[in-house]
Homo-oligomer: A and B are copies of this chain.
């Protein structure tokens, strides 16, 4: 049997937990399944994470780092606000494509149970993303690219809902369409609006 360093195993276990959270659901995932995927016995997992809760905490921290770095890189992509907005949405969709467990984790009861530890962590991620989006939108209004009088906070919630919605539909459909392309087209639609510009009610 090939032994590995604790650091290596820890990341292996966290990554296996993430992919399995997508496959079987965060609430239905057992430590036994994680152990089998990694290729070790079930108690070996508890050598690296003394409880399942701490394993989920580590998963949360892992996802959080990926989210933060994704947003940071996207914000640096373009000088103008609307370009940054598109980059943020595209980057977030790409991250969900590579870590499809993210939406399921956000809404799972695994997080809400147990003293609200992870729930607050993920709620914090959502708030961070919302404030980043709202900031970019406010810049867009200032520079005249976006409607004056636009409610930036609400618009940011619309964009978050858009990403979550298309990710959920992608997941339920069995991933039979291109998540990033579809999401980008929905963003364009929202930016243009539905009403006829001349004859608004």
Contact = CB atoms under 8 A, between A and B. Distances in A.
A199 to B, nearest CB: 6
Given A154-B186, A158-B186, A196 B147 contact: yes
Contacts of A197: 147, 197
Nearest to A123: B172
Contacts of A150: 189, 194
B196 A195 contact: no
B189 A154 contact: yes
A62 to B, nearest CB: 21
Given A157-B165, A157-B186, A161-B161, A195 B192 contact: yes
B158 A24 contact: no
Interface in A131-172: 137, 144-148, 150-151, 154-155, 157-158, 160-162, 164-166, 168-169, 172
Contacts of A54: none
- Interface bracket on A: 35 or more
Give how many copies assemble into the complex: 2
Nearest to A80: B201
A82 interface: yes
Given A161-B164, A164-B161, A145 B193 contact: no
Contacts of A28: 27, 109, 113
Given A145-B199, A166-B157, A191 B194 contact: yes
Nearest to A197: B197
Contacts of A161: 161-162, 164-166, 169, 186
A164 B162 contact: no
Given A155-B189, A158-B189, 15 more contacts: A27-B28, A82-B201, A107-B107, A107-B172, A144-B196, A144-B199, A145-B199, A147-B196, A151-B185, A154-B186, A157-B186, A158-B190, A160-B165, A161-B166, A197-B197
